[in-house]
Amino acid sequence: MNRWFMTLLASLGLVLVISGCSAKKEEPAKNPKDAMYDFSNEKSFVVYGEGIAPKNTVSPAQAIALAKRAAITDGYRQLGEKLYGVKINSSETVQDAALKDSRIVAQVNALVKDAAITDAAFKDGLYSVRMEITMSARRWQELFAY
């Protein structure tokens, strides 16, 4: 009786092992190069540019127009930061174990095409624009692969 029981258990275990092995799917090995050239992916970059309305204008309309342009310029700068990166130069001077001087310079040099202004609002002297640019892998290759 005991031997029959042990055989049954062993058979069940064997069936489980075999079924487990057969159920396991073999995933194709991912090639990093294939992922790099997958042109179907698209990614949107969204930024919010802000501009201030100047006080010494001939009319409130002119102040708003100038604030809008400053906001668009700020938005383009932020898109440039995202697409091209920021060059940072920093220097700190420590004297007698105390911070004497600190200077950080951040620079952006970018060329942005096809950015869209998707929303704009003016409130309390601050103009805010929502800007968006869609970047696909193909476009990325065209612009940056050289």
53, 70 Cβ separation under 8 angstroms: no
Do 94 and 100 meet the contact criterion of CB atoms below 8 Å apart?
yes
Binding mask 77-116 for other proteins (x = CB under 8 A): x-xxx-------------------xxxxxxxxxxxxxxxx
Stretch 1-40: interaction string toward other proteins, x if CB under 8 A: ----------------------------------------
If DSSP states are collapsed to H, E and C, what string results for 23-79? HCCCCCCCCHHHHHCCCCCEEEEEEEEEEECCCCCCCHHHHHHHHHHHHHHHHHHHH
In the set 45, 48, 64, 66, which binds other proteins (CB under 8 A)?
66
By CB under 8 A, name the binding residues for other proteins: 50-52, 54, 65-66, 69-70, 72-74, 76-77, 79-81, 101-117
